[in-house]
A and B are shown apart, each in its own frame.
Chain A
Amino acid sequence: MNARRAPWLLTMLLVMVSLPILILYTWLFVDSVSVSAPGSIWPKAFTLKNWRFLFETIEGHASIWRVTFNTLVFALCTVTVVIGTSVTAGYALSRLKFPFRAQFLGGVLILHAFPSISLIVAIFLMLRLLGLYDTLAGVILVKASLEIPFGIWVMKGFYDSVPWEIEMAGIQDGASRFQVWRRLILPQVQPAIAALAIFSFIAAWSEFILPLVLAPSSETQLLSVYLAGLLTDDYLSDYGLLKAVGLFYILPVMVFYLFTQDKLMNIYSGATKG
């Protein structure tokens, strides 16, 4: 293939494939700030009325800022739990010898592949029993546990690629096992930690089923559930509003993604580059 023409062709192809998505997003944006006649797709006039939910609470629904705050807390806490657990458990599975290590690894892999929705009833009952039903802490725990197998697996892979000799050199230089992990090994899997953090943040931000079932009340509601609530509200058929809320919901993820996508790629390439 002609080397000069190749990137051109590739760009064309990518544009073609992503065009429908781009159009949808553009349309979403345009609709959220305009009025259009029913049945028509063309906007008639500019308006900010659809964004009124930012300043006033919509009747029968929670306050947007409360819900946004909840979502942020939910996502950040999930990230913290996932990272904390994966970074330590991944190391143990990669480097330490302990009983049932192989079984544990197999279990983690199975859990990763397990469809979480099939657990929802059991989780519901367990949270009720623990008194964590309809609390943010409860959903955070559940969401984090469902993300952790993937996190452990990714971290273990990255730890595996750090040479064993580096660790032994650290020990030989007088450092304790913990110091070696903290000062020599962690810096080398740092790209993986960043990628995993972004990944779990986005996963938590877009989670819907778990908070819907496990934390539905307006005190603990998350953005995704709030949006679904508006959608199913029979007294409210304001599609402009729905589109504005939808945009408000995906905007942070898109901006976040734009700035961090190169780090996110690390998780798939699986190598530490110095």
Chain B
Amino acid sequence: MEIRLEQVSKDFDSVRVIEDLELLVHDGEMIALLGPSGCGKTTTLFMICGIHTVTAGRVLFGDRDVTHVPPQERNVGVVFQSYALYPHLAVAENIAFPLRIRKEAKEDVEHKVRKIAATLHIDSLLTRRPGQLSGGQQQRVALARALVRDPAVLLLDEPLANLDTGLRLEMRSELRRIQQATGSTAILVTHDQAEAMSMCDRIALMNEGQIEQIATPSEIYVRPRNKFVASFIGSPPIAFCSGAVSENMFKGPGFKFELPERLQAAAIKPDSAVTLGIRPEALQPGLDIPVSGMIAFVEPQGRETLYGLQLPDGNMLRSVQAGGSRFKLGEHVRWGLDRESLLFFDPDGSGI
């Protein structure tokens, strides 16, 4: 089922939390709502499932306008951040609850519960209480409860946030497998970019109640629409330094180079201020645009090493290089920038 938000806004006590939000999720797609804490991800999710009413705008499932449809009639499966299992019911009854409310026949309920439990590998837990389950198991039960009635839409609010690291990695692919197996249209809320990148078809990056960019994981990384997107996506983060452009040349602190072709066409005004974004992999020894500086920190990370390169004007660039630490703290080096993967932003922060 396609989900469409049109010009949706939400006020809490006259404080605007979501402003004119536009979002289109295709049928069968898994999209990530990614953004810093407090940016309105959960609020957006709750407007889609109907827990929050919208202040303005429309919510559509396919062609059906559900803006004023009560949550009970929207057929949306939600996995809450805290899982919200019913503590007094056994796992089987937790999963069966939505079906029991619909007064489905006893054999149907049993059959469906057993089937979804098998899909999620929780068959052996059906008689236990939620309090007797580990975090990962509770999460699966919550997912089973959301999926058991074939929801039109599946909403996941930070489903992996409460798991420990190992389990989180495992559940990433597991969640994706289940979403694809059931063919549900899903929205995954997360503040973890690695999760969004690895699990979803597209990412909607939110900030302060608005969507900054919707794109595929690689697109949003390679072509961020603005400085916020560029700095939120990517780890270790991008570094910025300001400079000026004139006659297709960029003049930065201590270096100067010819703009890549795609920017020459963009016809930047002469002598205008431009911010340069340098991802850690775009700064490497032996590349063609020379940059000199002093190594300010060295962080070995096993397979690769992260260096901090301090420019003469105090600006700090980051570089990720394969292998062990070949350079020492305080060493003066002359590295280079990769022209094609540099990012450029105009003074108000939008990408060029």
Which chain A residues in 26-75 approach chain B with CB under 8 Å?
Answer: none
B129 within 8 A of A: yes
Please determine whether B84 and A174 come into contact, CB atoms closer than 8 angstroms.
no
A92 within 8 A of B: no
B131 within 8 A of A: yes
Chain A contributes a number of interface residues (CB within 8 A of B) equal to 17
C-beta contact mask, B82-114 vs A, less than 8 Å → 1, else 0?
101111100000000110011000000000000
- Compute how far the CA of A243 lies from the CA of B130 in the bound complex, rounded to whole angstroms: 53
- Please name the residue on chain B nearest to A172 by beta carbon: B78
A171 within 8 A of B: yes
Please determine whether A173 and B131 come into contact, CB atoms closer than 8 angstroms.
no
C-beta contact mask, A157-182 vs B, less than 8 Å → 1, else 0?
00000010110111111111001000
- Please name the residue on chain A nearest to B51 by beta carbon: A168
- Compute how far the CA of A172 lies from the CA of B76 in the bound complex, rounded to whole angstroms: 7
C-beta contact mask, B61-90 vs A, less than 8 Å → 1, else 0?
000000000011000111011101111100
Please determine whether A171 and B84 come into contact, CB atoms closer than 8 angstroms.
no
Q: Which single member of B76, B88, B102 contacts A274 (CB below 8 Å)?
A: B88
B189 → chain A, closest Cβ, in Å? Answer: 14
Task: For B82, list chain A residues within 8 Å (CB).
Answer: 163, 165
Please determine whether B80 and A169 come into contact, CB atoms closer than 8 angstroms.
yes
Please determine whether A274 and B49 come into contact, CB atoms closer than 8 angstroms.
no
A217 within 8 A of B: no
- Please name the residue on chain A nearest to B46 by beta carbon: A168
Please determine whether B72 and A274 come into contact, CB atoms closer than 8 angstroms.
no
Please determine whether B101 and A187 come into contact, CB atoms closer than 8 angstroms.
no
Please determine whether B97 and A173 come into contact, CB atoms closer than 8 angstroms.
yes
Q: Which single member of B51, B72, B98, B130 contacts A176 (CB below 8 Å)?
A: B72
- Compute how far the CA of A166 lies from the CA of B71 in the bound complex, rounded to whole angstroms: 14
User: Known: A168-B80, A175-B72. Contact between A184 and B101, CB under 8 A?
Assistant: no
- Compute how far the CA of A266 lies from the CA of B123 in the bound complex, rounded to whole angstroms: 35
A188 within 8 A of B: yes
Task: For A176, list chain B residues within 8 Å (CB).
Answer: 72
Task: For A170, list chain B residues within 8 Å (CB).
Answer: 86, 97
User: Known: A168-B80, A171-B51, A172-B78. Contact between A188 and B87, CB under 8 A?
Assistant: yes
Please determine whether B51 and A173 come into contact, CB atoms closer than 8 angstroms.
no
Please determine whether A165 and B101 come into contact, CB atoms closer than 8 angstroms.
no
- Compute how far the CA of A9 lies from the CA of B177 in the bound complex, rounded to whole angstroms: 61
Task: For A169, list chain B residues within 8 Å (CB).
Answer: 78, 80, 84-86, 145
Task: For B78, list chain A residues within 8 Å (CB).
Answer: 168-169, 172
B13 → chain A, closest Cβ, in Å? Answer: 12
Task: For B81, list chain A residues within 8 Å (CB).
Answer: 165
Please determine whether B88 and A172 come into contact, CB atoms closer than 8 angstroms.
no
Task: For B80, list chain A residues within 8 Å (CB).
Answer: 165, 168-169
Please determine whether A188 and B76 come into contact, CB atoms closer than 8 angstroms.
no
Task: For B145, list chain A residues within 8 Å (CB).
Answer: 169, 173
Please determine whether A188 and B84 come into contact, CB atoms closer than 8 angstroms.
no
Task: For A274, list chain B residues within 8 Å (CB).
Answer: 87-88, 129-131
Please determine whether B98 and A174 come into contact, CB atoms closer than 8 angstroms.
yes
Please determine whether A172 and B131 come into contact, CB atoms closer than 8 angstroms.
no
Task: For A173, list chain B residues within 8 Å (CB).
Answer: 97-98, 101, 145, 149
User: Known: A184-B86, A188-B87, A188-B88. Contact between A172 and B49, CB under 8 A?
Assistant: yes
- Compute how far the CA of A208 lies from the CA of B30 in the bound complex, rounded to whole angstroms: 68
- Compute how far the CA of A173 lies from the CA of B99 in the bound complex, rounded to whole angstroms: 8
B50 → chain A, closest Cβ, in Å? Answer: 8
A171 → chain B, closest Cβ, in Å? Answer: 5
B75 → chain A, closest Cβ, in Å? Answer: 8
Which chain A residues in 239-274 approach chain B with CB under 8 Å?
Answer: 274
Task: For B87, list chain A residues within 8 Å (CB).
Answer: 166, 188, 274
Please determine whether A165 and B131 come into contact, CB atoms closer than 8 angstroms.
no
Task: For B76, list chain A residues within 8 Å (CB).
Answer: 172
Task: For B86, list chain A residues within 8 Å (CB).
Answer: 166, 169-170, 184
- Compute how far the CA of A184 lies from the CA of B93 in the bound complex, rounded to whole angstroms: 12
Q: Which single member of A163, A166, A168, A174 contacts B101 (CB below 8 Å)?
A: A174
Task: For B84, list chain A residues within 8 Å (CB).
Answer: 163, 165-166, 168-169
Q: Which single member of A163, A174, A184, A187 contacts B102 (CB below 8 Å)?
A: A174
Task: For A184, list chain B residues within 8 Å (CB).
Answer: 86
A158 → chain B, closest Cβ, in Å? Answer: 14
- Compute how far the CA of A187 lies from the CA of B129 in the bound complex, rounded to whole angstroms: 14
What are 8 of the A-B contact pairs (CB < 8 Å)? A163-B82, A165-B81, A165-B84, A172-B78, A173-B149, A174-B72, A175-B97, A176-B72
Besides the known contacts A172-B78, A274-B129, 10 further A-B residue pairs in the complex with CB atoms under 8 A apart: A165-B81, A165-B84, A166-B86, A169-B84, A169-B86, A173-B97, A174-B98, A174-B101, A179-B101, A274-B88
Give the A-binding residues of B (Cβ under 8 A).
Answer: 49, 51, 71-72, 76-78, 80-82, 84-88, 97-98, 101-102, 129-131, 145, 149
9 smallest CB-CB distances across A and B, nearest first, come from A165-B84, A173-B98, A169-B84, A187-B88, A274-B87, A174-B101, A165-B80, A274-B131, A172-B78
